[in-house]
Amino acid sequence: MSAQQSTPIHQQAVRFALDTATGRNALSKLIPPALLLADALLCGLVIWKIPYTEIDWVAYMEQVAQFVSGERDYIRIKGGTGPLVYPAAHVYIYTGLYNLTGKGADIFLAQILFAVLYIANLALVMACHWKAKAPPYVFPLLILSKRLHSIFVLRCFNDCFAVFFLWLAIFCLQRRSWRLGALFYTWGLGIKMSLLLGLPAVGIALFLGSGFASSLQLAAMMGLVQVLIAVPFLAVNPLGYLGRAFEFSRQFFFKWTVNWRFVGEDVFLSKGFSLALLGLHVLVLIAFITHRWLKPARKSLLQLATTVVSGKPPFTAQEQKTASRDVTPQYILTSILSANAIGLLFARSLHYQFYSYLAWSTPFLLWRSGVHPVAQYALWAAQEWAWNVYPSTPASSGVVVGVLALTVALVWWGARDERQPPRAAASKSKAAMQ
């Protein structure tokens, strides 16, 4: 009698489930496409059964109607919810939707288009996770968010397009298509400046992966794209465009905050609180840059800066080759998603649509942290609960900030050796499931 035949059937079933969940079974490859299909059906069910909720769509269409009518002064473009406060790519994308949906009147068609966008985005997210060697047990968390489905197919927010181009950029960067990655990233930034949160990690990935000279060219290209898409508005009122599209002095309302309600309105509105968040954001970013993201360089930030200032290239040819080799798909996904999580943690105020930047990031970051899968699912569930409490409460906002802070702290620990050999990383994931 073979060893397998002597093993009780329930133990074989458990072993099969564990092997499939950790990628050790041939059937593991079927999990992502099966989940993608299931979520496509779920999106259809959501559109069919749950009423559409109007928040910003009408305002978007009102603003676009003025653009279509010939208005190019950003200061003059307004909608029912206020002035136009997004960069030019937002205007162009919603102009396309304006034309496709009969000037915004066909909401059902708009929902279908956003459902297609959601599924395309989910496919990208899954491809990026798979490329970064995330185990299959992480993937169910990518389709289970109630809030995320709402943001895409029931609200039609512009964040959906911004996050799509962020993930498309990551997809390209993981495959070392540096120019395409930079192009898609800057287009996403042209939709909504929330993508600035990931810029430090994107810049370092380009610097280490493509080389110093190439990264400067890519940075120039990204800046040029922002100028070119804004030309129609810059030609009329350049200060008005820059002030509205990239408004850093925007006032935040306590009643809409998802993250800092527990500190109270007086603290929330105080300048000291704002400066403290900014200072902490900078300090944590510096810590990640110097002790995590620059590890492939094998040189300190000071050494790199000193070399560049002296007019010399920061790397020899061999050093550049070695650094570029360590900019792996897992490194790229970890660094960009952690930069995004850091930015969200210290954001002055988060609204519900900002969950689109977080929902697909947390499962991967928690896996990278190395905590047990049960803890990963528990933290994800706590986060999902908190983002579905409306309106937010001191308790829910405390959970939002707490899970974000814990995720950043855990990924700091888990990503302490970005040059860990793939086999060792895989063994670590398998051991966690035991």
Model pLDDT for residues 318-341, shown as the tens digit of each residue: 999 999 999 999 999 999 999 999
CA-based radius of gyration for the chain: 23
pLDDT band of residue 247 (cuts 50, 70, 90) is confident
Handedness of CA 128, 206, 181, 162 (dihedral sign): positive
Alpha-carbon torsion, ordered 304, 305, 307, 313, to 10 deg: 70
Q: What is the pLDDT of residues 95-123, one digit of tens each?
A: 999 999 999 999 999 999 999 999 999 99
Helical H segments across 235-270, by residue range: 238-245, 265-269
Q: Write the CB contacts of 416 (distance below 8 Å, at least 6 apart in sequence).
A: 292
For residue 427, the model assigns a pLDDT of 47
Q: Is 78 helix (H, G, I), strand (E, B) or coil?
A: strand
- Upstream peptide bond of 421 is cis (omega within 30 degrees of 0): no
Residue ranges in 175-237 assigned as alpha helix (H): 178-189, 199-210, 212-234
Residue type for 131, please? K
Mean pLDDT of 385-404: 97
Rounded to 5°, the CA angle 160-166-171 comes to: 125
* Alpha-carbon gap, residue 212 to 203, rounded angstroms: 11
First-to-last alpha carbon distance for the chain, in angstroms, is 26
b/e 277-305 (16+ beta carbons within 10 angstroms → b): beeebeebbeebbeebbbbbbebeeeebe
Q: pLDDT by residue (tens digit) across 116-137?
A: 999 999 999 999 999 999 999 9
pLDDT tens digits along 1-31: 455 557 788 788 878 878 888 888 888 999 9
DSSP letter assigned to residue 137: G
Mean model confidence pLDDT for the chain: 92
Q: Is the dihedral of CA 360, 362, 368, 374 positive or negative?
A: negative
- In tens, the pLDDT along 29-48 reads 999 999 999 999 999 999 99
What Å distances lie between residue 283 and 204, 273, 346, CA to CA?
A: 17, 15, 11
Best CA proximity match to 136, nearest among 26, 38, 20: 20
pLDDT at residue 418, as a whole number = 59
